[in-house]
Amino acid sequence: MTDFQELEPVERLLVVVAHPDDVDFGSAGTIAKWVSLGTQVAYCIVTDGDAGGFDLSVDRAEMPSIRRKEQANAANVVGVSELAFLAYKDGELEPTIGLRRDISRKIRQFRPNRLLCQSAERNYERIYASHPDHLAAAEAALCAVYPDARNPFAFPELLAEGLEAYSVNDVVMQASPNPNSFTDITGFVEKKLAAILEHKSQISNPGETVEFVTSWLSASADLVGLPKGSFAEMYQRVSTG
């Protein structure tokens, strides 16, 4: 049986995810909790989620701006105001050298203690968590953490921009098939749900969404041994310092 460890907040956290709403479904409770404890958080959203949605009447050309606004609103719910959108094409993401460079740039700019991303490993128990864009964004983020961002000889153009090499201490991955850590978000579950519901273009049935997310958080709390009535978000923590 895994001995799950509760994650402690850090001073600075960079979140790198593939789409608007990914951080909220996976980690909005944790973000809200850590922000309340003083953590400075920045989001790096790799695509604009332009292939998302359920309403066929919405002009596809409008979807990027819709989803950026929804993500900004959701970030505001949990206390995050620093957002960057890399504008890669939704549904076509690959862990290219260019994406690794762009994430490395954000790491060197923000200089986080910890990076939160998705899992680069497919989760066969929860296949919807393993969208190809999620896997690609995670692989690129992990490569940016090691070796790219810390290597002064990688991406000399970043040095030319005045961005010195920087080492992130650890990575936590949401939706991992091999979790070893968690956060107790019992006091922050309402903020998580509110953040998720800001993504109106993606949620056709808000009531069902709240029900399944709540049940999933409750099951996670049971798994890590929290008292009945608790809620938890789970991660795989990897030391990279």
What's residue 189's pLDDT? 98
Separation of alpha carbons 154 and 148, rounded Å: 6
Domain carrying residue 47: 9-239
Q: What are phi and psi of 141, to 5 degrees?
A: -65, -45
Q: Is residue 172 part of a domain?
A: yes
Separation of alpha carbons 33 and 183, rounded Å: 9
Bond from prior residue into 95 cis (ω within 30 degrees of 0): no
| Positions of the chain with pLDDT lower than 50, given as ranges | none
Q: Is residue 1 part of a domain?
A: no
Q: Is residue 2 part of a domain?
A: no
Separation of alpha carbons 126 and 109, rounded Å: 34
pLDDT digits (tens, 9 = 90+) for 98-108: 999 999 999 99
Place of tokens 């979790």: 179
- Token readout for 147 is 């070796």
Whether residue 141 contacts residue 212, with contact meaning beta carbons closer than 8 Å, is answered with no
What's residue 220's pLDDT? 98
| Number of structural domains in the chain | 1
Separation of alpha carbons 149 and 44, rounded Å: 15
Separation of alpha carbons 51 and 63, rounded Å: 8
Q: Is residue 173 part of a domain?
A: yes
Q: Is residue 130 part of a domain?
A: yes
What's residue 1's pLDDT? 53
Separation of alpha carbons 46 and 143, rounded Å: 15
Q: Is residue 4 part of a domain?
A: no
Task: Give the C-alpha distances (Å, rounded to integers) separating 137 from 8, 85, 115, 132.
Answer: 24, 13, 13, 9
**For the whole prediction, is pTM greater than 0.95?**
yes
For residue 38, give the CATH number of its domain: 3.40.50.10320
Burial of 240 (0-12, 13-18, 19+ CB in 10 A): middle
Q: Is residue 77 part of a domain?
A: yes
Those residues whose C-beta lies under 8 Å from the C-beta of residue 161, and which sit 6 or more positions away, are 105
Q: Is residue 159 part of a domain?
A: yes
pLDDT digits (tens, 9 = 90+) for 39-95: 999 999 999 999 888 877 788 888 999 999 999 999 999 999 999 999 999 999 999
Edge to edge, the sheet with strand 232-239 lists 5-6, 181-184, 232-239, 170-174, 114-118, 12-17, 40-47, 82-88
Q: Which residues pair with 44 in a beta bridge?
A: 16, 84
